[in-house]
A and B are shown apart, each in its own frame.
Chain A
Amino acid sequence: MLTRGKLVWAICFALLLFSLPLLIRDLFALRQGVEYSSGADFWYTGEINRELLRLKVVLIEAKADWDESSASRIRFQFDLAMSRLNTLPRQSNDGWHSQGIGQLPEVAALRDDVAQFDAASSLLDTDPPAYLELALNGVEGALQASRALSVKALERQNGLVGHLQAEFEKFGVHLALYGAGLVALAAGLAYLMIRHMRSEGALRTANRGLVEKSALVEATLNSMSQGLCVVDADWRLMAWNDHFLQQFDVAKGYARVGRPFADIIGHEAMGSGRGSEDGLALLADWAGRIGGRDSHGFTYVRSNGRAIDIWGDPMPKGGYVYTFTDVTERRRAEQDIRESEERFRRLAEAVPQGIMVHFEGRILEANGNFGKLFGQPTDWLIGGDLRHLLTDDSWRSLTDQFERFEEGVAEIVGRRDDQSAFPLEVAWRTVPYRGDRAKVVSLFDISSRKLTDERLHQSQKLEAIGQLAGGVAHDFNNLLTIIEGFAKRALAKAEDSGQVRSSLAEVVSAAEKAAGLTRQLLTFSRKRTIARESVRVSTLFDELAMLLRPVLGERIELVFLPPERDVGVDTDPGQLFQALVNLAINGRDAMEGSGRLTVRAAAADVDETRAARYPDARPGRYVALSVADEGTGIDPEVMSRIFEPFFTTKEAGRGTGLGLPMVYGFVRQSNGFIEIDSALGVGTTMTLYLPLSEPAAVASAADMGGTAFRARGETVLVVEDEDALRRLAKSILEELGYTVLTATDGIDAIEVDEECEGRIDLLLTDVVMPGLDGIGAAQAVVQRRPDIKVVFMSGYPSRGDLSRGDLPRGVPLLEKPFNAYSLARTVREALDGTTGATDTEAAAPLAPERYGT
């Protein structure tokens, strides 16, 4: 098909092919024309003319000055002129003239003229002047003929130039054609060149664009925060980015287009130490998660623990584009957040307060304790109205404060599900919450605190009263000493007149009663010392039963409920006895003479929570001694005052108002506390919590040698300054059936001996004691009672090591530490006088002189 371009090319080449031969011919013609038109004929004629002129000159000169050389010069010049004539070309050499100039008739005429010279040349030698004359004429004619020839030649020359002009014109036309062809060709070539250049530039641009685009794509892929990998339908790698390689720890050089994807997975498998064959298994596992042609995703956890979310999109011609997102940090962060939330949730659940988020009357969130406060599951309360959980006054007060204060603390009254009211302490703070301003509120049930505060207040009040009462009692005791002392003395000295003696007797009696009252006051104000020792509940109950039955009367049913296992109470036995009697009498009076009075004892472990309810209580092991009546109960209004001295609800004359204060002071001084449970019309239970004595105080009979070492009605005085040891010895000996008296040092032992007036059968005494040591105590006792038996206790292994010198010989020594058996045996043998398996003198009566000093 002839396109426009081809047509142009055809025209161009036609022009060139057509014009080129013409141009060549023109060039030759022009060359020839130029060559011939260069004036050869005219030159020839000019040369002839010039030679003729020279000849004329020679002739003239010869004419003027003839000499012998003139003839030769003339001949020479003549010959020269002739030769010029004869050499004129006869043939035309220009192609345009039919004949040469030499054949022109003018040349023939000229030659004829010159021939005249030749004819006259003979005259030269003979008649030079004639010759000269002739010759000059002939030269003149020749010159004219030469000029005519020159004109002819010039004409011929002019004709040739015109011809040449025509040739030039033709040449111009041909050259124009050729030039046009050349121009067209050049234009075409230029066009082609430009087009080529353009196409080259475009190609380069395109190439550069491709390279740039490729780099851009690579940079884009690598700039992705995710790994990317493209596999074909045969699971061969097609494209990937650096992240993908990094995520799977694959070297850059390892990944190449066409590499089976299983190799990458195999690499991963090898990284996990499972061997390359597992790569296929992994791939199969991987492939198994792929849902056909659908997009699919799953999370792959690498052997190094990093979690990678994998998402695959199928490609139209098969294969998948996978993106790999390392979600380890995100998972960790999510885990951290979950753990943090869990911690905060636990924290919120762990705090003792109820916590809720409150907004416009609604409970938006709450912890478990919040529900517990109100006796309902928290889930039920969330979304509900706070108004239903508070008393109306509290609700109004709280909402008012919520509106007025961003944060604050208040005491309000809550309402449980059963409509019972309880005091609450609330603290709130306003916080941003889901675009609003909500209140975070903590609520704390302060029932216990209120009660404790109240009890503390009572306790402090009683403390103050106690201080007052103690001071009064002290002064009273001074006065009573004088009153009673002088009254008794006066009574002793008084004459036997009934009037005076009976009056004095009344004074003494009143003074003794007053002394009793001040003792109770002092007990209440804890101004009396208590002699603490382990009191067995069984012993206590026995003695109490004997005393109380006649005191309470027959209409009162007295019930004793001892503990399952006999326990000891660490307290002053006399004061405990007095306290229980006081409680029993109160119970009797509350029942107005008839009913059941239950005295119960039980071991009780008091934990911190329970102890916190009482101002003076500490956690620990206690014996709970309770006295329960079926009386009228205690009016709540007077409950807070029952321990105040001289406060009594009994009718005038029946109560002193010092019974319960005495109990209170005694229990507190014994490091115990009192619990009161009273209901109007039902009765009152007063429980005294007193410290449980140490378990070590109780030993089994088997430990003490069975019945062999039991007491036979004897009384033992134990003298020991170490409290625990003294109690242990007392406990063991009591277990054996001895009546045991105790003293804390030697002087105390003499006091006890003085008090009991000869009841002591055996003195069991430590040796080294402050004040008066055991040896001194034994001396003092033996001086009064030479038949008394003595046993020393000592931590020193032998008698000779004692600081006070040797112990008296023959006196048994019980080495510390001792056990129940050794104590029982030593005491029994000393009493029986059978000591002496190793020391025969032990059985001998102890005489004062045996101790020496």
Chain B
Amino acid sequence: MTIELKDLRVLVVEDSFQTIALIRTMLSDFGITQIYTAKDGKEALDFLGTCDELIDVVMCDWNMPRMSGLEVLRQVRTVDPDMPFLMVTGAADPESVLAAKSNGVTAYIAKPFSANVLKKKLNVVARLLSVRRG
């Protein structure tokens, strides 16, 4: 089963409304129609707790109030070890990368990122899901 980019169902976790708007625009440009947003980690986890089958990939900012992206990743991994998780961050320092990798992050997106970068990362997710779902 091949999963195309446009088929992806994306949950965007980001505290900046401007960034959410930008990402939503970019995703729409990729043909993605199923876009969900959460303004912080708690909201995202609540959402995933009720209907994670609606989501193919989580795209999460690192620096957020109340709960960091790393914490969201940890929580997600406790219930779904295979959920593709893209970490978006403005400072991909080695310590953070190592921490995210050890917690099972799927890919890193360093800010500022272009639409092309985002597209490639999501393509990776689509191909990964294609393999996993056979």
Contacts from A to B (Cβ < 8 Å): 470, 473-478, 480-486, 488-489, 511, 515, 518, 522, 526-530, 669, 747, 750-751, 754-755, 771-772, 776, 779-780, 783-784, 853
Contact = CB atoms under 8 A, between A and B. Distances in A.
Interface of B: 2, 16, 18-19, 22, 25-26, 29, 63, 89-94, 97, 104, 106-107, 110-115, 120-121, 123-124, 127-128, 130-132, 134
A754 B113 contact: no
Nearest to B29: A489
Nearest to A521: B91
A783 B91 contact: no
A671 to B, nearest CB: 12
A515 B121 contact: no
**A-B residue pairs, 3 tightest by C-beta:** A477-B90, A477-B111, A527-B93
Contacts of A755: 120
Given A477-B112, A780-B130, A783-B127, A751 B90 contact: no
Contacts of B93: 470, 522, 526-529
Given A528-B93, A750-B124, A783 B131 contact: yes
A474 B93 CA distance: 10
B107 A485 contact: no
Nearest to A479: B112
Max chain A Cβ within 10 angstroms of own Cβ: one of B92, B114, B127, B128? B127
Given A528-B93, A783-B2, A784-B127, A478 B111 contact: yes
A481 B111 contact: yes
A747 B106 contact: yes
Given A473-B90, A478-B111, A522-B92, 17 more contacts: A474-B90, A480-B111, A481-B22, A481-B112, A483-B112, A485-B25, A488-B114, A489-B29, A522-B93, A529-B94, A530-B94, A754-B120, A754-B123, A772-B128, A779-B131, A780-B128, A783-B131
A477 B16 CA distance: 13
Nearest to B133: A853
Max chain A Cβ within 10 angstroms of own Cβ: one of B29, B104, B131? B131
B5 to A, nearest CB: 11
A492 to B, nearest CB: 9
Contact of A783 (B89, B94, B124, B130): B130
Given A783-B127, A783-B131, A751 B104 contact: no
Given A481-B111, A755-B120, A529 B127 contact: no
Contacts of B29: 489
A515 B90 CA distance: 10
A747 B91 contact: no
A477 B110 contact: yes
B78 to A, nearest CB: 17
B99 to A, nearest CB: 12
A780 B121 contact: no
Given A527-B93, A780-B127, A747 B107 contact: yes
A759 to B, nearest CB: 14
A570 B63 CA distance: 32
Contacts of B91: 470, 473-474, 477, 522, 527
